[in-house]
Structure 1
């Protein structure tokens, strides 16, 4: 096969995967009634554990409670975003919740809920240094959403030694 044939095959495969992914995202959006749907909750829970690992309580009931609270904060933050941004986020999370999207874009072979924190952390790190702008953007979205939702709560400021805003006389 000639180089041109490989390029045509690559472009054709990318189009097919993109159309299939968009179709899946339309069928199962990441956001349902403005909140994280079941698949998106798995994505964001796994990402939160990897991104906020040192800031969360040790594994157990306290960590589970902290992660549930984090997902609630994410729902509240996402609700404050403009409708077009929520639509894009819903599409991306819907795609990431599928096996094909998870594997192609993140590199995780195991479902989000079954992947270890280390596996998700390594996958996110690979996305961070990827040459693909799409993978980098997804990494930044997963990280930034979790960080903003976490540090938007004054209850979490102590974990990094931030005393809070200074009163200006």
Structure 2
């Protein structure tokens, strides 16, 4: 770039300005869209939506089938998830928050899961297909995300004594 050629320097300056505008707009848009899944050790609204949908599939057969009882059971499950997450180290909570944040944004949700519908609107068959894609993919990040979601869901649910009979566990032996 030569000082003697003002047209080239103006063109280059305009290109740099346009590039910076695009980068700043993308960063601002991402920050606006970003919805962390965990805040202060508890699930946010977007985190609860993801885990409510995941539980409908992962815990299928262990949850009530009647609509009102199902909603109440899912509400209790989300409270137990809050307790479970609150007991994890801050770094792990941060990773869960990031994962749930990614799953809450349409573009990254589609990339990670293939799920087009938002979590609350997704049908069971769509959710099952999304989780199956995550579990069977060759992409390690997607598999790790699947296992984290499934393991947290199962851990919070089956840690409760009232659910032990569902898996045939009679409870601890008297000491």
TM-score (structure 1 length as normaliser): 0.83
Residue ranges of structure 2 left out of the alignment (5+ in a row): 1-22
Residue ranges of structure 1 left out of the alignment (5+ in a row): 1-15
Answering whether residue 62 of structure 2 is matched by residue 49 of structure 1, we say no
The answer for the alignment partner of 1:68 in structure 2 is: 75
Check conservation: 1:25, 1:94, Cα contact below 8 A: no
The answer for the alignment partner of 1:151 in structure 2 is: 158
The answer for the alignment partner of 1:138 in structure 2 is: 145
- 2:169 match: secondary structure: coil
The answer for the alignment partner of 2:103 in structure 1 is: 96
Answering whether residue 46 of structure 2 is matched by residue 39 of structure 1, we say yes
User: How far off its partner does 1:151 sit?
Assistant: 0.8
The answer for the alignment partner of 1:84 in structure 2 is: 91
User: How far off its partner does 1:162 sit?
Assistant: 1.4
The answer for the alignment partner of 1:10 in structure 2 is: none
User: How far off its partner does 1:24 sit?
Assistant: 4.2
Closer/same/farther in 2, CA of residues 59 and 110 from structure 1, 3 Å limit: farther
Check conservation: 2:41, 2:86, Cα contact below 8 A: yes
* Higher alpha-carbon Rg: 2
Q: How many residues are treated as equivalent by the alignment?
A: 149
Check conservation: 1:26, 1:91, Cα contact below 8 A: no
Q: Aligned partners of 2:104 and 2:47: how far apart in 1?
A: 6
Q: Aligned partners of 2:127 and 2:46: how far apart in 1?
A: 15
The answer for the alignment partner of 1:11 in structure 2 is: none
Closer/same/farther in 2, CA of residues 90 and 26 from structure 1, 3 Å limit: farther
Q: CA RMSD for the aligned pairs?
A: 1.9
Check conservation: 2:35, 2:105, Cα contact below 8 A: no
- 1:159 match: secondary structure: helix
The answer for the alignment partner of 1:13 in structure 2 is: none
Closer/same/farther in 2, CA of residues 87 and 64 from structure 1, 3 Å limit: same
